[in-house]
Amino acid sequence: MAPIAPRSGDAVFANVERVNAELFTLTYGAIVRQLLTDLEEVEEVNKQLDQMGYNIGIRLIDEFLAKSNVSRCVDFKETAEVIAKVGFKMFLGVSASVTNWDADGTCCSLILEDNPLVDFVELPDTCQGLYYCNVLSGVIRGALEMVSMKTEVTWVRDMLRGDDAYELKVKLLKQVPEEYPYKDD
């Protein structure tokens, strides 16, 4: 009989990552389901998911800045690229594309073709109006607020609602200048 060959470290690591990702997806689904039960109104669930995301975002930015080595972005266009290519990759395992810029460079769309949050998800008819992934809009809003950018983040397209992609509109409302924390006198 052939000996049982140990799996390589890489294979084990990939497996652990996949299991973690699935656990995360299923846990998120369980949270949404519980909110639907507790709050009853889909609009309230949308608000709660966004608020949860915001609370995550204001903390996650520290980890993002520490791990990514990203330095200050020159403008909002660079910030959007960083979110799409580095932030999404780091926390969601997929990257997004950035499109639909407005003329003054303060509003764009982040398009996700692959969205691990919705693996295994099917929404019943009673959930029409639910923005299942609303935690993501809150995360972006919270994270950007911590680096002095007030934004409005809204869903434009959602595959769970029958659209052909996931599209988030990110609008920069205000860039708060950072204050020097010490008085010069």
The CB-of-4 to ligand MYR minimum distance in angstroms stands at: 39
Copy the structure tokens of residue 31. 């949270």
C-alpha span between 40 and 74 (Å, rounded): 44
Q: Which residue's entry shows tokens 């949404």?
A: 32
x/- string (CB under 6 A) for ligand MYR, residues 8-47? Answer: ----------------------------------------
Burial track 21-34 (b if 16+ CB lie within 10 A, e otherwise): eeebbeebbeebee
Query: Which residue, 88 or 155, has its beta carbon nearer to ligand MYR?
Result: 88
Q: What is the rounded CA–CA span in Å between residue 109 and residue 56? A: 21
Which residue, 145 or 160, has its beta carbon nearer to ligand MYR?
145
Backbone angles phi, psi at 123, to 5 degrees: -95, 135
Q: Which lies closer to ligand MYR via its Cβ, residue 35 or residue 136? A: 136
Which position among 32, 49, 107, 140 is part of the footprint of ligand MYR (CB under 6 A)? 140
Figure out which of the listed residues 83, 98, 107, 108 binds ligand MYR, where binding follows CB under 6 A: 83
Pairing assessment for the beta strands 107-112 and 149-157 based on DSSP bridges: unpaired
Contact positions vs ligand MYR (CB under 6 A): 61, 64, 70, 72-73, 79, 82-83, 87-88, 91-92, 136, 139-140, 143, 147
